[in-house]
């Protein structure tokens, strides 16, 4: 999973980053609230870890802004040296999903993150997954549509599985390239567009089959179940975003 960590303690940031990467997560770190909020204008994450006291604003302001600016449903874990009951209540009331007091115990941190991710993305945990006409078997790395097997190349399968596991969520281009190619810096941007176009054609992603795939200008891509609301809109773009349906 792709996790953003916000804390002005650089040593703690490195410790958290190292721990999460050992558990196969991708971790991006930020030392002030402004930097994280700026990143969220064009990027997406699966979970946020937010410290209370920051150089430029309170962590509660960051959490409130994240919830208000985009209606994001991603889980947020609050970390702080404050542990009074009133502090816990305030953090949770502002939109945090869980709360940990410093000093952090890394084993507990990983366990809490795992629990939050499991609740937020249950579709990502199973080996056999069915999404309407689309049936994935992650163990066999196979996909069938209306019972008919679809032949996909390695990256096409990885991208299709990731999109369906996150159906309804807007995913940034960097998020997608990291999840599927592993290193976004080495993946040509055009390669992602080409793979998306191929998936639309091979999987017949149309309203008749219950799913459509779109490119959101300046952000990334989203696979939408027909008739269902999107789970994650781009910040400030809920109504004004320019959406371009991918052509084959």
Instruction: Pinpoint the residues of the chain covered by CATH 1.10.10.10.
Output: 127-245
Residue 113 exposure: Cα atoms within 13 Å on the Cβ side: 28
β pairing state of 98-101 and 76-80: parallel
pLDDT in tens, 165-203: 999 999 999 999 999 988 655 556 688 999 999 999 999
- Which of 29, 97, 20, 87 shows the shortest CA–CA distance to 58? 87
Instruction: Pinpoint the residues of the chain covered by CATH 3.40.50.2300.
Output: 2-120
pLDDT in tens, 123-163: 665 668 899 999 999 888 999 999 999 999 999 999 999 99
Q: Are residues 197 and 33 in contact, defined by beta-carbon separation less than 8 angstroms? A: no
Query: What superfamily does domain 2-120 belong to in CATH?
Result: Response regulator (3.40.50.2300)
Write down the pLDDT at residue 237. Answer: 41
pLDDT in tens, 12-56: 999 999 999 999 999 999 999 999 999 998 999 999 999 999 999
Q: Is the CATH code 1.10.10.10 the one for domain 127-245? A: yes
Q: Which residues contact 80 (CB under 8 A, 6 or more apart)?
A: 51, 52, 53, 59, 87, 91, 99, 100, 101, 102
pLDDT in tens, 89-113: 988 998 899 999 999 999 999 999 9
SS3 148: strand
Q: Which residues pair with 38 in a beta bridge?
A: none
Write down the pLDDT at residue 244. Answer: 41
């Amino acid at each position: 999973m792709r996790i953003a960590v916000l804390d002005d303690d650089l040593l703690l940031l490195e410790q958290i980053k190292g721990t999460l990467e050992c558990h196969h997560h991708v971790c991006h770190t930020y030392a002030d609230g402004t930097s994280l909020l700026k990143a969220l204008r064009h990027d997406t994450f699966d979970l946020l870890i937010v410290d209370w006291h920051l150089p430029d604003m309170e962590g509660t302001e960051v959490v409130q802004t994240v919830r208000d600016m985009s209606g994001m449903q991603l889980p947020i874990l609050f970390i702080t040296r404050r542990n009074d009951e009133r502090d816990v209540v305030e953090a949770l009331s502002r939109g945090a999903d869980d709360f940990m007091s410093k000093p952090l115990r890394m084993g507990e941190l990983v366990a809490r993150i795992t629990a939050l991710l499991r609740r937020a993305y249950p579709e990502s945990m199973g080996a056999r997954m069915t999404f309407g006409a689309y049936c994935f078997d992650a163990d066999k790395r196979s996909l069938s549509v209306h019972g008919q097997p679809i032949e996909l190349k390695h990256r096409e399968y990885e991208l299709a599985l990731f999109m369906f596991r996150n159906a309804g969520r807007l995913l940034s281009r960097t998020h997608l390239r990291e999840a599927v190619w592993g290193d976004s810096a080495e993946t040509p941007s055009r390669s992602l567009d080409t793979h998306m176009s191929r998936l639309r054609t091979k999987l017949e992603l149309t309203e008749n089959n219950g799913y459509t795939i779109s490119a959101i200008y300046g952000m990334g891509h989203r696979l939408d179940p027909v008739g269902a609301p999107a789970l994650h809109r781009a910040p400030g773009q809920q109504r004004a975003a320019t959406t371009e349906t991918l052509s084959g």
